[in-house]
Amino acid sequence: MELKKNPKADLTRNSSLYFVIGLAVVMLIVWQALEWKTYEKTNEYDISMNVDDDLDEEVPMTEQIKTPPPPPPPAAPEIIEVVEDEVEVEETVIESTETSQEEVVEVDDVEVEEVFEDVDVPFAVIENVPVFPGCEKESNKRACFNKMMQKHISKNFRYPEIAQEMGVQGRVSVMFVIQKDGSIGGVRMRGPDKNLEKEAARIIAKLPKMTPGKQRGRAVRVPFSIPITFKLQ
């Protein structure tokens, strides 16, 4: 007997659809298995606190505090004897060390010696200027002093030869002090060349002895300064 197939009965026609559906179902089951959670059953506990009542315990009684006895009363004061006014009592007299205003101690007049300091008084402010020889009879001794100084410099002036050869010229400032005995000391120079300074020192060294200057009637030292100009013709 020969088997015959029905052409309409094709079993492989929807196999791919069935495969997809089956795969989806399997994946759904696997996902549900992974997400499945189980919980343990908890026992019911009695959370009420068991408090033991120990009120029946005997509480010891505190002992009675014993207070100290009160202090004894103070002793009776001694009997004070009353002294009659007729009895003389010696009193201690304390003498004051302060002097009364009426007592004035007379002090003899003390002579105070005036102390003069050995100071230098500038020529411009001194009371009595030093007197240059030849100015004793002049009324204006200050102007006469300056005039005689210029005359002395002109008379003793000599230009150094070495300075002339080198063409050196300029002004030399000379400072000196007229001592309390009228002599010249403390000579200092400041100029452009040592040869010119040396010549200026030589001129000042030839100054004559003068009458010293006075301040408050006492001889004092008098500083004086003057420029000496060296100029080539």
Task: Give residue 46's Cα distance to chain centre.
Answer: 82
Percent share of the chain, pLDDT over 90: 42
Q: What is the pLDDT of residue 74?
A: 73
Q: What is the pLDDT of residue 120?
A: 87
Average pLDDT over residues 136-154: 93
Q: What is the pLDDT of residue 173?
A: 94
For residue 13, give the DSSP letter.
Answer: T
Per-residue pLDDT for 232 more than 90?
A: no
Q: How many helices (H) and strands (E) does the chain have?
A: 4, 5
Average pLDDT over residues 117-127: 85
What are 153's two structure tokens? 């410099």
Evaluated on CA atoms 192, 196, 202, 207, the torsion sign reads negative
Rounded CA separation 224/183 (Å)? 13
Per-residue pLDDT for 146 more than 90?
A: yes
Evaluated on CA atoms 194, 200, 201, 203, the torsion sign reads positive
Per-residue pLDDT for 99 more than 60?
A: no
pLDDT in tens, 169-209: 999 999 999 999 999 999 999 999 999 999 999 999 999 99
Domains and CATH numbers, the chain: 141-230 (3.30.1150.10)
Query: Do 216 and 127 touch, CB atoms closer than 8 A?
Result: yes
Q: What is the pLDDT of residue 55?
A: 47
Tell me which of 127 and 12 has the higher pLDDT: 127
Query: Do 211 and 131 touch, CB atoms closer than 8 A?
Result: yes
Query: Do 190 and 140 touch, CB atoms closer than 8 A?
Result: no
Rounded CA separation 233/226 (Å)? 22
Tell me which of 100 and 19 has the higher pLDDT: 19
What are 182's two structure tokens? 């009228």
Per-residue pLDDT for 51 more than 50?
A: no
